[in-house]
Structure 1
Amino acid sequence: MRGKRTVTGAALAVGALAVTGLAFAPTALAVSPQSATLTADCGTFGGGAATLTATQSGTAATMTLKSTAVTAPLALSADSITSKLTLVRASGGTVVFSGKKNPAMAAGDPVSVGPLSGTVASGDSLEAYGGSLQMTVFGITITCKATGKQSPGPFVFD
């Protein structure tokens, strides 16, 4: 009987250590800042303020863009806009986030696309200025470009 109590006690101690280890495990990777604002020019389709929101899980990252200044020209169903967001990497080159994700929008609603998926590396610093957003709706491609650097600064990935 005494042997059973020792084994049970040892199992409880190992379990407690495992739980303690989880409590002190490193947190998930994160991007900073999580959102940034910019001003975009979409040519004849309008332009103005937009917000980019970023998430990260390892090397997988997503970007979502919302703008009250750029509006849907007509009613759009969910997941009907093919989007490609190109951001400039501070160390050189670009990173592309793409997808066919958007909420349903009525004519005149603010434009929202994403989450768009991309791959990042630890330490990547990404900026919208110098890149572009291409949205294809009903075979028409709309290209938007940032008119200046995003605020508060570039997205930096862990």
Structure 2
Amino acid sequence: MTAKRLGIGAALAAGTLASALALAPGAAAVVPQTATIVADCGVYGAGTATLTATQDGTAATLTVTSSITAPLALAEDSIASTLTLVKAGGGTTAFTGTENPAMAAGDSVTVGPLAGTVAAGDSLEAFGGSLEMVIFGITVTCTAQGPQAPGPFVFE
């Protein structure tokens, strides 16, 4: 009888622990996960862009989807990109990569996910930074015309 009680007690304790773990908060994440800017890419156009951020520890990625359209068809992973964001405390953080979907002429230009390294508490803003894309050997530089909305990315 005592063995049964111990077995039931252990099962209840294990169930309670499993429930607590299931309800525990998830891994650290960036807030907000998306932000918008108005980007100016010079002679290549201007328009709204959406930045989507993810975080896994100190590794972070950013994807940029713009309303600026591709003038020509672009192959998958054919754009070398560097997105530089400004840190609230000074300095910059760069996100780089050559990932992009295939795009037909007239499609919205999308690059990423671009990889970078962040620290807990980093607050990063597109305004004051830039997105450089090398397409067919031509460098296109885009800059934010004002602060991103709803605010800077804050990494945990």
**TM-score of the aligned structures, taking structure 2 as reference length:** 0.91
> What is the letter of the counterpart of residue 126 of structure 2?
A
Query: Secondary structure of the equivalent of 1:32?
Result: coil
CA deviation vs aligned residue, 1:1-56 (integer Å, no higher than 9, x gap):
x5764564354234213312312423221211111111111111111211111111
Instruction: Please tell me the root mean square deviation across aligned C-alpha atoms, in Å.
Output: 1.6
Farther-moved stretch of structure 1 (8-17 vs 33-42) = 8-17
What is aligned with 2:135?
137
Query: Aligned to 2:12, what secondary structure does the other structure show?
Result: helix
- SS in structure 2 at match of 1:67: strand
Aligned-partner residue type, residue 146 of structure 2: G
* Paired residues, number: 156
What amino acid is the match of 1:143?
T
**Matched residue, 1:20:** 19
The residue aligned with 2:29 is: 30
Instruction: Show structure 2 runs of 5+ residues with no match.
Output: none
Separation in 2 of the partners of 1:14 and 1:152?
44
Question: Letter of the aligned partner of 2:79 in structure 1?
Answer: I
Alpha-carbon distance in 2 for matches of 1:110, 1:90: 30
Listed as ranges, the gaps of 5+ residues in structure 1 are none
Q: Distance in 2 between matches of 1:33 and 1:12?
A: 40
Looking at structure 2, the residues matched to 152 and 6 of structure 1 have their Cα atoms a distance apart, in angstroms, of 55
Q: What residue number does 1:154 align with?
A: 152
CA distance in 2, matches of 1:6, 1:82: 64
Partner of 1:114: 112
Q: Equivalent pairs: percent with the same residue?
A: 61
Deviates further, 2-11 or 13-22: 2-11
Letter in 2 for 1:125: S
**Match in the other structure for 1:52:** 51
User: SS at 1:22's partner residue?
Assistant: helix
Deviates more, 1:11-20 or 1:41-50: 11-20
Moved more, 29-38 or 11-20: 11-20
Deviation at 1:113, TM superposition (A): 0.7
In structure 2, C-alpha distance between the alignment counterparts of 1:137 and 1:14, rounded to whole Å: 59
